[in-house]
């Protein structure tokens, strides 16, 4: 029996868009999926969604991810973390706790992480005893976060290094109706890294991570190609930011973040209207036929 899946891309502060989409879903108790896969900030967003915690991700992004304790270039220049993802996770659970019972009795949630030994993506189901390590690992931006989270016999870094949009993994797990929330507009294609030699130097301890970073653009664009031309037995629905979405990976401007959230909320509401047959398709999105 085929399954339905929800995929949420990461992108650090660009995750504000997905937080708006998922808040729109929660407002209508919309959750028709059999499982979900999140990457980096996408996994954090899904924790809020599957525990039914409206505005949690919005609050975490706008009030905590903009805090100097999380993002600190001066600390980074002195040899510390540019972004402290462990602090963000631990502190957010103190300030904005989620309903863990609801989360873990809900559909399975998987997070993509990148194995530092192989450079490939691994996909772990989030469970009570591993959630902290998995969320830390899937959001552990290489270079910007100097710790290397380890669990289940391996050590890991940001899932977006090896698989930013795990649509192929969802298909492999049996999903034939896949909804993807992207963090870039539909026109986006990732460009190859300009300085692969610098990556190799900065990541000399982890050569396979450097290699994965070097081919990341190619892998990302292959995922986009899979979305645009899915197998004949699959249907992929896409929710993406509008072309004027101005949020970057490390945007800290709360006005821009608020705008990005509202864009996500509107896109989520439009998606729900499409499912209800009350919102017409147009030329821009007809190739993702709903």
Q: Could you give the C-alpha distances from 110 to 3, 47, 104, 113, 124, in angstroms and in order?
A: 15, 10, 12, 10, 5
- 72 domain residue, yes or no: yes
- 164 domain residue, yes or no: yes
Number of domains in the chain: 1
Q: What is the pLDDT of residue 278?
A: 60
Q: What is the pLDDT of residue 142?
A: 86
- 283 domain residue, yes or no: no
Q: What is the pLDDT of residue 279?
A: 52
Residue from 4, 19, 40, 212 carrying the catalytic annotation: 40
Do 85 and 141 meet the contact criterion of CB atoms below 8 Å apart?
yes
The tens-digit pLDDT sequence of the chain (290 residues) is 789 999 999 999 999 999 999 999 999 999 999 999 999 999 999 999 999 999 999 999 999 999 999 999 999 999 999 999 999 999 999 999 999 999 999 999 999 999 999 999 999 999 999 999 999 999 998 888 988 899 999 999 999 999 999 999 999 999 999 999 999 999 999 998 877 777 777 777 878 888 888 889 999 999 999 999 999 999 999 999 999 999 999 999 999 999 999 999 999 999 999 887 665 544 444 444 44
Do 192 and 217 meet the contact criterion of CB atoms below 8 Å apart?
yes
Catalytic residue flag (residue 122): no
Residue from 23, 84, 122, 158 carrying the catalytic annotation: 158
Cα end-to-end span (Å), the chain: 21
Q: What is the pLDDT of residue 248?
A: 95
pTM of the model: 0.92
Catalytic residue flag (residue 40): yes
- 282 domain residue, yes or no: no
- Joined together, the tokens standing for residue 80 give 């510390």
CA distance 138 to 120: 13
- 257 domain residue, yes or no: yes
- 69 domain residue, yes or no: yes
Backbone φ and ψ of 214, nearest 5°:
-65, -30
Q: What is the pLDDT of residue 287?
A: 45
CATH of the domain at 130: 3.40.1090.10
CA distance 136 to 157: 8
Domain of 45 in residue numbering reads as 3-276
- 288 domain residue, yes or no: no
- 284 domain residue, yes or no: no
User: What three-state secondary structure class fits 20?
Assistant: helix
Place of tokens 């530092």: 116
How far is CA 22 from its chain centroid?
A: 12
Q: What is the pLDDT of residue 284?
A: 43
CA distance 142 to 157: 6
Q: What is the pLDDT of residue 211?
A: 86
């Amino acid at each position: 029996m085929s399954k339905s899946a929800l995929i949420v891309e990461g992108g650090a502060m660009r995750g504000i868009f997905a937080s708006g989409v998922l808040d729109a879903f929660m407002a209508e108790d919309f959750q028709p999926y059999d499982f979900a896969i999140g990457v980096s900030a996408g996994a954090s967003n899904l924790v809020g969604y599957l525990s039914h915690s409206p505005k949690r991700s919005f609050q975490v992004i706008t009030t905590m991810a903009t805090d100097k304790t999380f993002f600190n270039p001066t600390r980074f220049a002195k040899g510390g973390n540019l972004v402290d993802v462990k602090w963000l996770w631990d502190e957010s659970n103190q300030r904005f706790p989620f309903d863990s019972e609801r989360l873990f009795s809900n559909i399975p949630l998987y997070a993509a992480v990148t194995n530092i030994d192989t450079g490939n993506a691994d996909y772990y189901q989030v469970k009570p005893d591993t959630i902290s390590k998995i969320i830390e690992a899937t959001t552990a931006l290489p270079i910007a976060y100097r710790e290397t989270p380890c669990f289940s016999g391996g050590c890991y870094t940001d899932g977006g290094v090896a698989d930013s949009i795990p649509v192929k993994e969802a298909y492999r797990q049996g999903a034939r109706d896949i909804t993807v929330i992207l963090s870039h507009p539909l026109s986006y294609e990732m460009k190859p890294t300009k300085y692969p030699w610098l990556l190799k130097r900065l990541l000399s301890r982890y050569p396979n991570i450097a290699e994965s970073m070097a081919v990341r653009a190619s892998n990302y664009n292959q995922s986009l190609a899979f979305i645009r031309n899915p197998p004949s037995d699959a249907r992929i629905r896409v929710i993406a930011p509008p072309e004027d979405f101005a949020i970057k990976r490390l945007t800290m401007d709360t006005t821009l973040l608020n705008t990005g959230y509202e864009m996500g909320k509107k896109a989520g509401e439009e998606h729900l209207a499409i499912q209800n047959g009350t919102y017409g398709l147009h030329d821009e999105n007809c190739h993702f036929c709903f």
